[in-house]
Chains A and B, each alone.
Chain A
């Protein structure tokens, strides 16, 4: 076993988690390698020092305070806030966000439900001139080119002042 291999086993060695055979191999290497031996001694000292860092005991009021906070939160949320997580099986943050999300989803559902179907759209759509033209076998390209002229003609034909003057006759001719 070389230094690199010992290095990768050092923490397990110090934790006492190495199998006996591996442990003996590490110790055998350390006896002939001063650098690894020094590292093992140093890390062992660190482990001992860390053991001396005592923990703390939570205050006696910890549970009571937590209970108060849970109760305060429950009363702040109200019945809807308590019910909502059961209705929606995914985390959605606070109750306000949950209500907004619910409203958006409901609105989307209503819009989709009452949106006109494709057949209704076709039925309601105004008849375009080209539809009749295609049916009549008129060349589309020619029709598009004449469209502004036809529109002008239509405007002039329905222009009341000209009709009164009897000008439409001449235009039609």
Chain B
């Protein structure tokens, strides 16, 4: 029996380049949630993250004519996403120092699904969540991107390096410094 190989994301993007709209819908469905969450952790605002994710996919669609499968599709996608997120942060339009209400509400909704959480549990979880977000937000932009790509997007050093356009050794250094900073900042929280 002949085994049909599943097309890679890069193959699908080449099909999009040739006018196959269905392949774009497939790529969108596959990568939408991870991209939205990457942007959410970068800018820490759900509404802004969704808006930026729209911008990312618009850029992907606009660039389809010139797409060359020289790197992994995800590398290219997250390079665009990182660029969009950093531009947004540098513009300062979406910069904020306090956790937005929608984050707290989202956390609360998720936690309500857990069995019998008390009001104290909610308050504690809110406070811990807020402190974690604040500590990540306080990291320099590139360290923040490296940590999120490593911890939540599950990328290896090589792919993070390509996404952030730096060497693998630079990524290792970024990650070590970032995690060390978080260890110092969140040390007290872990012991509570």
Interface residues of A (CB under 8 A from B): 7-8, 10-11, 39, 42-43, 45-50, 52-59, 62-63, 65-66, 69-70, 73, 85-86, 89-91
Please, could you name 25 A-B residue pairs with CB atoms under 8 Å apart, sorted by A?
A8-B172, A10-B176, A11-B150, A11-B172, A11-B176, A42-B187, A42-B190, A43-B183, A45-B183, A45-B190, A49-B186, A49-B190, A52-B129, A53-B41, A56-B36, A56-B40, A58-B32, A58-B36, A65-B54, A66-B54, A69-B58, A70-B61, A73-B58, A89-B66, A91-B63
B137 to chain A minimum Cβ distance, whole angstroms, is 11
Which residues on the B side are within 8 Å of A11 (C-beta)? Answer: 150, 172, 175-176, 179
Do A59 and B50 contact each other (CB < 8 Å), given the known contacts A11-B176, A45-B186? yes
Contact between A86 and B65 (Cβ–Cβ < 8 Å)?
Answer: yes
Selected from A46, A73, A89, the residue in CB contact (under 8 A) with B186 is: A46
B71 to chain A minimum Cβ distance, whole angstroms, is 17
- In the complex, the 10 A-B pairs of residues with the closest C-beta atoms, listed nearest first: A45-B190, A55-B37, A85-B65, A42-B183, A58-B36, A46-B182, A56-B46, A91-B66, A46-B183, A50-B151
Which residues on the B side are within 8 Å of A10 (C-beta)? Answer: 176
B143 to chain A minimum Cβ distance, whole angstroms, is 13
Contact between B176 and A7 (Cβ–Cβ < 8 Å)?
Answer: yes
Contact between B189 and A49 (Cβ–Cβ < 8 Å)?
Answer: yes
Which residues on the A side are within 8 Å of B107 (C-beta)? Answer: 54
Given contact pairs A42-B187, A55-B41, A66-B28, enumerate 14 new A-B contacts (beta carbons under 8 Å). A7-B176, A8-B172, A45-B186, A45-B187, A49-B189, A50-B151, A53-B136, A55-B33, A55-B152, A62-B50, A63-B29, A73-B62, A85-B66, A91-B63
